[in-house]
Amino acid sequence: MHYFCGRLLVNLSIMIQRIQTLYLAVVVITSGILPFVFPLWKENGVEFYFMQDMKYVALFGLGVALAVWSITNFKKRQQQFVLNRLNIILNLILLGLFVYRSLTLSGESFDSEKGIGLFLPIASIVFLVLANRAIKRDEELVKSVDRLR
């Protein structure tokens, strides 16, 4: 048990030291916590949150699951990179659904307004791209060290 706890602490400290872990943690917050706080849109004075439609729940949940899976695969940089790319595609799909919905919302009426929650996938995409850049830099650093050996 003592050995297991020691190895867990070592892995946790290595994982936290990497900047891509912080970027992915921001993605988890952006996709997992902020949708509960910010409404997607407001129609006739009623705020619409993501929980009111199962496709949004599934897409946000899958995005959080991919980000957490990517964080836990910190030793497998290539797999982490691929998971982040999949998460970017998922967030683009979510953003496409939001754009479609915002275009079908009645913009002429004063009873309808778009919410800040529509921009959460954009923030997730930005931090996923930053995480992939950091992973790529780590991979290049490891390859350059291997060449020196």
Per-residue pLDDT tens over the stretch 39-87: 887 777 778 888 888 998 999 999 999 999 999 888 888 899 999 999 9
What pLDDT is recorded for position 144? 81
pTM above 0.85, yes or no: no
What pLDDT is recorded for position 149? 59
Give the H/E segment covering residue 147: helix 120-148
Region of poorest pLDDT, from 5-9, 25-29, 100-104, 109-113: 5-9
Higher confidence at residue 108 or residue 115? 115
Q: Is the pLDDT of residue 126 over 60?
A: yes
DSSP structure string for 58-125:
HHHHHHHHHHHHHHHTTT-HHHHHHHHHHHHHHHHHHHHHHHHHHHHS-SSSTTEEE-GGGGHHHHHH
What pLDDT is recorded for position 44? 74
pLDDT-derived band at 124, boundaries 50, 70, 90: very high
Query: Considering the chain, what percentage of its residues have pLDDT values greater than 90?
Result: 40
Average pLDDT across the chain, whole number: 82
